[in-house]
Structure 1
């Protein structure tokens, strides 16, 4: 029941607050000296029990929580056992001091305190850490042993040596007294190991709190043992201040571990104060050795000890320089001397943890040298290296102190700018970089001209990670290259192909698309013959978008396949409704576009047949338009799929004929029945003899292949008359009708075909 109550966040917060109040009350009572030594002792000993109860229950909550990974739960199960020993020890100490008034040593409380150390030692070592190579594990062991050796020297000097020589102790008392500092030494080893093995991420708050608690506890234990050796310990002494503070840190550690997410975001750091532990332990050991040997003769002991200390110190300094050199090698590009990808990743991770402040913008510029590969291929890699070195020098001359320029690989560079006053400052920096990189590079007798394209991404979201910024800058970089190179582009959401693809697929799923219908008419009379289905996107933010805004993206990402199926189904359903409500609409034809990716789908025929069955639209009144890219290189499978569609009665049209590289021989092999003349051939036929001749040749070509010819893009009466003179009888364009939304298309059908009334049309979807 108690553990269930502790699972609530409010309950644990109340418990932490109560423990904090208890700690403050005990400290105030101690320093105030109220009530005399007996009252201070009673309050100090009583304050331990609720704190120990709280941190034991909170630790058990962590061990049984599904929010933690299995390794963490196992480690905290052992830590809970250690906390349970603490709880038992504090209850026993309070009982023997204030209930039975026992003064025996060692007591039950002493044994429970001793059990705390091995359980805590095992639990700390079981905590999961960063995966390491064998060599890294050996280095970690050496660092931990250095800390342990320094701690051993201090404990030997302060406790173990005096304990072995203390008079008046039985063998068992001497062993128990020595066991406490030895247990503390194990805790120092385990704590340093737990902290040192997290070199690639921030040490988690629970481990830092555990380390703080153990540091206070070890200090208090050493003080307790010293007092025991020199007159006997009584409750309410100053070590209680440290023990109680350590207990409160255990409460915080258990609470923070429970709140910690199962998969926290890793954070990289350059260095950490934790790495100073081996050096601090070595220095402390020599200080104690110097104090202990201060009364020894200078010759020979003093000089030897002094020389050993100086020698060790010099080795530490030399090692620190070696570590710094290794660090620079690890984050520096060997050719240009700039930073490398590792340094960029670390810098961006640091910046990602900082809050976004007005007037302090962060930007990353991704720089790619234009036409670098031809230089490498033509003049060799030495010329390419000369260009890269010159580009690096140019970047150094542009960026400010504190900014970072790095080479990511090949001819790609990154520049990290921080503390920019405005967004536009990033563009100004990119423009200066473009100008600096627009330079001649002298290589032997050759002058190599270099330019660059730059993508700019600004950190405008608190949640944007370093990897996200790099991806955004990369997207902007390729946008700059597509726009003509030698320029820079800011990243915007419109460039994000993955996000736009997901948005487009979501639009299909949520019925944000709508089909418009453009009438196809008889040129002589204007009589309605067919409708071409044209898709529009009713975007919730950007309004109604034409196909030019998203069809290319759909083709590029493959989203055009489900989109095309949706358009065919929606158009057939609408046209079937007209046929059902208007007896005169039965001859009306429907034309729908097929993308090349749809034609390449193995299940195309099955999908089309299923849609026709579902909507009830007759296949012999459907025309599917394919592009010239399908006509140009039709493989046997494609021809087979198209023939299967023709066998269903569906007509096939070649759309935008003449705009690509059509192979006329394929028109004979493919089962097409309609040829649509592109609008580019229609423009100008009314007043340009050459344009008229070309268009007339295309019309006669369609007739030669026994294809029905339809003209697109008719905008004037003169164009319609000229096409009619050439023998083209059917067409579409703004001169007759613009694309119409479904209600207006239905009204046109009723007017043209003499429908009985709107009620019949209204019932078509019943």
Structure 2
């Protein structure tokens, strides 16, 4: 068999009259007998023009189809057993944009190489430049469209597909239909499946069907160059179609397998990313970073959170054991290295807490945990663990610890920390045999400041006192606030001399004026000092200091007292007194004495002030100064005050029934701040007035200035209700508190009572009487009555009359007395001697 040109009919090697590359390539087919030949192939010159026309038409058809085709309908027919064919087919369009771009870039390069190679091949066949540029230009145009950046990837894939298939068709055309050139179609179809797109794949298959089936049947000489195909083009088209079909099945299978693998990989990657994301989120939330050290490779992996905790840039910082140690605080570095090295040697887990210094200088506290893994031979090959930022936790713990053992307002030690330190110091005395001292400090009249200027001013005062107390102590001593206005000091290694010095310095510090809300306030303190040794108990020591403090208060305040054993009896008596007061209330042992109040000009009795006394069954009559402070501390002042009101209203009723007076007698009753703070107080007063048939105007409720300053809104409401009821409100001991003109204008006050110290000054000269004169003038300007308390001399009486004081009371007229003794004075008019002085008033 000779390889000959089938169109020549000769047995010689093929020679082309035009010397084209087609001839020089000597593409040949086996010799076919004459009888098997159908019709001779068209000369190459004529076939070239026709094929180019057909190629152009095919490309236009498929370009038009590509515009309309977006998605391939799902193949949903079923096989036996309910199995769907589509389950075996690839889904398509599953590539990510990045993966598609990578594959498209390779295919586009392949297409451009075809455009250039085909143009060169046409020139080598002897065709002109225009011919080469025309046919190569079509491929180049498709390659340019496929390379365009702004075109959707569906169109770019379609253009690349048409470009490569057109290259296949052009190669078949240039080879004169040589059967081997059809293999290019097979390769291109396989390449197109890398797009994993049904549009590109069906476009490629359709192109082959049109080229081989339609064009091969209608113009077989344009597709095939051997007699059998030319004689039976449909048969050969189907044969080629069968091979293409087999190829498609293989490509679809490979595509599906690849797609399944990619889906599994993508799912696994997504799951891994999700796990990593959740891990990173959890680590960020918990501020926990993780690390893994491959010792044989000396490679350490850090999580993102670990980079954040240490404050290093993951792009610039390569984690190593040595570089991590550089981040550890120099004071902790040796300890950390020792712990990790010991874990490496022993294979035991480790944990430690240390400080790290970030690149910006910030120091953070971290807690590290780690484990060790070994190989079959027992060699350590891996270490891994976590590192947690515990800075905020440590700060919170420190804050909580500080709050648990320190006073929030002053920053001093609280009772818990103070007692702990005292207990610890007492245990230390067992070794040293020395003594320590405990001071209890209670601020004098702090309640008046707190009530008059408000709680914020009281807080400022306490803070200033704390600063001053800390300023007088030694470094080893402890100052504490026990609560309210009570402070304490622990003096270690103390003797009487050192304790005396600290007590005196403390009093001096407290005596200095404190400026609050634009005013200078002087607050004194009462200090009790108790010594302790190794034999005394904590509770006894603190109780002794407290007892000494109350002794200082009782002996005049603004002083210090050292504890003495005799003070125990006073403390016990105080407790007994408290118990007796409760019993006395139940036994109704409290009585009222009354002191008359006179109009000073003309002199006549206009009212009385009720003063409580305790008629003790054994001790006799006890003055209020000995039990009122305790009732105020314990709250017994409330039931006692109710009983005093009841006794006073009952006595007013009896006087109304027995005395024949032109004007009703007024009775003043002292009311405490606790009573006035009761929401039911007004109702209680109204009930008593109604029960005893007393006119409200006869009852004068006396309150101190400090009451006006305490919860002013509530007090104003209560006083307004009492005034509406008809009772009168008097300010007792006026001038000793912190009230202002605004308070006097805002409250329904009808009487001002001048305190005894200012009255005493009226008899000492013009300068000393200025205070009393100012109060009288103030009262008259405000339209209220003024009562002078504690008038004891004729000179004071005359001076008060001269300055226009309205009313007065005092020993000059009468001492407080039972109602039975007062009846004689109430029934007897006042008498004056020859000099105009009052006489015969029970003196």
TM-score range, shorter-chain basis?
0.3 to 0.5
User: Greater share of helix residues, 1 or 2?
Assistant: 1
Higher RCO (Cα < 8 Å, 6 or more apart): 1
TM-score calculated relative to the size of structure 1: 0.40
Of structures 1 and 2, the larger Rg is shown by 2
TM-score calculated relative to the size of structure 2: 0.37
